[in-house]
Amino acid sequence: MRRPVIGIIGNSHLINDEYPAFAAGEMNAQAVAEVANALPLIVPPDPNMVCLDALMATCDGFLFTGARPNVHPEEYGEDETEAHGTFDRARDRVALPLIRACVARGQPIFGVCRGFQEVNVAMGGTLHPEIRDLPGRDNHRMPPDGTLEEKFALRHPVTFSEDGPFAQILGQSQMMTNTLHGQGINAPGPRVVIDGHAPDGTPEAIYIADAPGFTLSVQWHPEWNAAEDPVSRPLFEAFGAACRAWSVGALRKAG
């Protein structure tokens, strides 16, 4: 059987501070290949290089990854401030319309960290520029020092709705996750369902109400240790299964 193709939304980088490149984290590709059992394909985050119709015809699903730049607040009707950090306007112009198109047609999407925030913004929601500045909230940012293992270590529980899709996939309503983000959901979009929270109330897991396809997104980084982690593995397996189902349906229509 043909392996589904999962587009991984890339990010813009400068190699040696001078050579422009598009890239995606190796652990994202590993999670897609080894756990979702799909073919990872890096998508250039530049609307001048991407035709959405052709991209959606090539890929069976899309992974919207984390990234250091944030979604520009203009996308949710707010002014830019220093607290909003850096931006990647080209990625905004690829990811946001792609999310809306996939949700509308039922093509599977999985949002991670910035991707989680992109899904909320694409569906009409807003973001807090800095979660740790809100009263009663914890610092969810990546620790500034330590090894990768220490930075991606499990740091807090997430509690899911008992009858929601996350609890169904994971088999329980609370799990430990890592946390490496500064921004987070302020107001959810009209169809965005918050299905999991951190102990301080920060939204951590969402899906789109009444969507015809897979639309789960998480604020943490499940790509870390995805093959072994009891949260990450079933999420990527479920995403891969949804992409295979989409691929089979697409082949039947083509035939």
Q: Confidence band (pLDDT; 50, 70, 90) for 92? A: very high
Quick check: 139 and 181 in contact, CB under 8 A?
Answer: no
Residue 18 annotated in active site: no
**Residue 82: CB partners within 8 Å, gap ≥ 6?**
none
Q: Please say if the pLDDT value at position 83 is more than 90.
A: no
The DSSP line for 174-191 is EEEE----S-EESS--TT
User: According to the model, what pLDDT value does residue 254 have?
Assistant: 59
Question: Taking the model in full, what pTM does it have?
Answer: 0.94
- Amino acid of residue 13: H
- Out of 75, 118, 130, 223, pick the active-site residue: 223
Query: For this structure, is 221 an active site residue?
Result: yes
Catalytic position from the list 84, 130, 221, 243: 221
Query: Residue 252 — pLDDT band, cuts 50, 70, 90?
Result: low
The answer to whether 223 is a known catalytic residue is yes
Of the candidates 113, 130, 140, 204, the residue annotated as catalytic is 113
